[in-house]
Amino acid sequence: MKPDTFTELIRRKLESIRPDFTERDWARMQRSLHQAGLSGPPGGAGGMLTGQSWLLVAAGVGTAVLLTLAVWQRAEINDLRQKLAATAKAAPVPAKPADTVQAASQSPQSPQTRAADTVYITRYVPVQTMPATRQAATDQNRYTDTNTAENRSAETTDRSSVPGWINVPGYTSKKTPQSNNKDRNQRVATAPQKNLLTSEPDEMRMPESGVGKSSDNRGQDNRGQNAPADGPARQNAVSDRAVGPRGNDTRSTARPDRKSDVNTSVANARQTGTEAEAVEGATITNGSQQQRGAEGVLALLQPRQPGTIDWNARLARRFRRTVSVPAVSAPTQKPESQAVAHVATVFRLGVSTSLRARYWNTGLVAETVINGRWVLSAGLVRSSAVLGSFVTDEDYDYQTRRNFRREFAPGFDPKRDIYGIKVRSVRYQIPLSLGYRIPLGSSLALLPSVGAYLDLSNTMQIAFSYRRPYPRSGYDVLSFAENQPVTPLNAYTFGTALEWHQKHWVAQGGLLLARPLYSDLNGEVSSALGGRVRLLYQF
């Protein structure tokens, strides 16, 4: 349609209008900017952040929950580790398999250290041996088989007498005749007479049948149980000392922190001892504690020369060792049962409803019970509120100090009266709460809690009546809904409830005090006391 003169005149007249700027207009604009969260310069990012503030709140709450769970999980893991360590210390040592028993005999130790018997050779370093050593090696090869067999016999005997060790039923041990032990015991019994005559330490004296002399003696001694002078009887004697009349001898007790090679060296040093050395324990038993301590230190401080140890023989012996599947013996006693604290996280899901003042909400709620004490709950509820009923729009304006027509009916015919105004609010909210369970009985608990309501949406529902236009008579009802701006944090809540728990079902009921963070239609911020009921299913 072509513009005619009339419309052209109207256009020119209307476009010529230029209202003047006043400070009141800018103040009004600033109020709008503040309400929208744009307090900074126009176009800044402040508004964007404020617009997504509910996302920030949700992210913050989620982060806090995850951090809490992480800290709690860490504490639980540490607690379980401590309990596991305590249980492992208190538990009895199970029967050792045959293979382990054989290896453990090389160093008579306490049960705890025998478990660490296995030595893994990762690198072999050939060492130029001395002539005396070669002679010893020759002799050693000669005696290897016999020595090994007898060693095993002695080991088995020793093991059977060590407290805490259990003979495996399927394991046939070659026990040394009792007479041998008796002989050794007799020798031990007679030894103090000789030893008392010489006050020098046993390790400083020469072995009766030692191969080397003087300084070579130690090297010879360190060659271990395979040396010619180290007969099986001598080994048995040494082993018997661990279980003999002086079973408390410090030298035969465990040194758990030492490596197996150290133990082996110490054992070798003892095995190369003379008859007098074999009975040194008796001497020490009768002697002072200082002497015993010094002797033990000397035994430990004997130079260990790796080159003098015949690793070939040891490796060969290890290969000859029959590898048998460890016989799993039945536990001699039932392991102790320990009550584990209730640390599981329990999840609940159910329905919730609450009523306070003019508000009523109902919806789904999920709860997480942490450690049986802390209760963290979240959900989605629909909250309805009757904000007010007014006779006319003038009544609304008078009571609320607002303008109904301008606020809700700007285009409505001003000549037409408005009656029976009802204003309702419908919000979808996330109720969050953190509670602490105080058990009152087997199925009853007290649950004080603090929480908050987060708004997801806010819709105002308005309904009013008006007189029908002429010539129609009577009244019509007009109802409509308007979306309102959403404030992320709606209200704080403080509540206490009684919780009844039966199998999988949990019922909660109690009081709820809500402190809103926004004003109602009258511009008032007032706390409201109400009740809350929840029915939950516990998984």
Partner 1 sequence: MLFKQFFGYAKSICLRYTASAEEAEDVLNEGFLKAFQHLDRFDDSLPFKAWLRTILVNTAISHYRKNQRFEQHTSLENAEPVAVDINVVDQMAADDILGLVQQLTPTYRTVFMMHVVDGYSLHEVAELLGHNEATVRSTFARARYKLQDMIRLHHPAYVPAGATTKNAIL
Nearest to 514 by CA among 369, 390, 359, 393: 359
DSSP assignment string, 33-53? HHHHT--SSTT-SHHHHHHTH
- Per CB under 8 A, does 473 bind partner 1? no
- Per CB under 8 A, does 401 bind partner 1? no
Residues 6+ apart with CB under 8 A from 189: 282
Angle (deg, nearest 10), helices 232-243 and 178-197: 80
Q: Which of 4, 200, 336, 524 binds partner 1 (CB under 8 A)?
A: 4
What is the Cα–Cα distance from 375 to 508, expressed in whole angstroms? 12
Nearest approach in angstroms of CB 412 to partner 1 is 4
- Per CB under 8 A, does 394 bind partner 1? no
Q: Which of 2, 42, 290, 322 binds partner 1 (CB under 8 A)?
A: 42
User: Which helix (H) or strand (E) element contains residue 505?
Assistant: strand 505-516
Q: Which of 383, 466, 497, 534 binds partner 1 (CB under 8 A)?
A: 466
CB 492 within 8 A of CB 514: yes
- Per CB under 8 A, does 347 bind partner 1? no
What is the Cα–Cα distance from 157 to 176, expressed in whole angstroms? 7
Nearest to 218 by CA among 101, 125, 126, 305: 305
How many C-beta neighbours within 10 Å does residue 295 have? 22
What is the Cα–Cα distance from 435 to 437, expressed in whole angstroms? 7
As a whole number of angstroms, the longest Cα–Cα distance in the chain is 146
Parallel/antiparallel/unpaired status of strands 489-502 and 444-467? antiparallel
CB 433 within 8 A of CB 377: yes
What is the Cα–Cα distance from 352 to 363, expressed in whole angstroms? 6
How many residues make contact with partner 1 (CB under 8 A)?
A: 42
Q: Closest CB to partner 1 among 36 and 511?
A: 36
Place of tokens 């800018």: 26
- Residue 477 phi/psi, 5-degree rounding, is -110, 130
Parallel/antiparallel/unpaired status of strands 444-467 and 418-436? antiparallel
Stretch that binds partner 1, among 21-29, 65-73, 187-195, 511-519 (CB under 8 A): 21-29
- Per CB under 8 A, does 21 bind partner 1? yes
Stretch that binds partner 1, among 130-138, 310-318, 385-393, 407-415 (CB under 8 A): 407-415
Q: Closest CB to partner 1 among 138 and 403?
A: 403
- Per CB under 8 A, does 412 bind partner 1? yes
**Looking only at residues 280 through 309 of this chain, which bind partner 1 when binding is defined by CB under 8 A?**
none
Nearest approach in angstroms of CB 372 to partner 1 is 50
Nearest approach in angstroms of CB 484 to partner 1 is 13
Q: Closest CB to partner 1 among 33 and 116?
A: 33
Q: Closest CB to partner 1 among 36 and 328?
A: 36
State the amino acid at position 212 in one-letter form: G
Q: Closest CB to partner 1 among 390 and 464?
A: 464
Q: Closest CB to partner 1 among 27 and 71?
A: 27
Q: Which of 56, 71, 478, 511 binds partner 1 (CB under 8 A)?
A: 478
Q: Which x/- pattern, by CB under 8 A, does the window 79-118 give for partner 1?
A: ----------------------------------------
Q: Which of 28, 182, 194, 259 binds partner 1 (CB under 8 A)?
A: 28
Q: Which of 2, 17, 340, 442 binds partner 1 (CB under 8 A)?
A: 17
Nearest to 311 by CA among 536, 129, 512, 69: 129
Nearest approach in angstroms of CB 49 to partner 1 is 12
* Both structure tokens of 344: 């599981």
- Per CB under 8 A, does 406 bind partner 1? yes
DSSP assignment string, 225-236? GGSTT--HHHHH
- Per CB under 8 A, does 18 bind partner 1? yes
- Per CB under 8 A, does 19 bind partner 1? yes
Q: Which of 398, 480, 518, 537 binds partner 1 (CB under 8 A)?
A: 480
Q: Which residues of the shown chain bind partner 1 in the complex (CB under 8 A)?
A: 1, 3-7, 9-11, 13-21, 25-26, 28-29, 32-33, 36, 38, 42-43, 47-48, 406, 409-413, 466, 469-470, 476, 478, 480
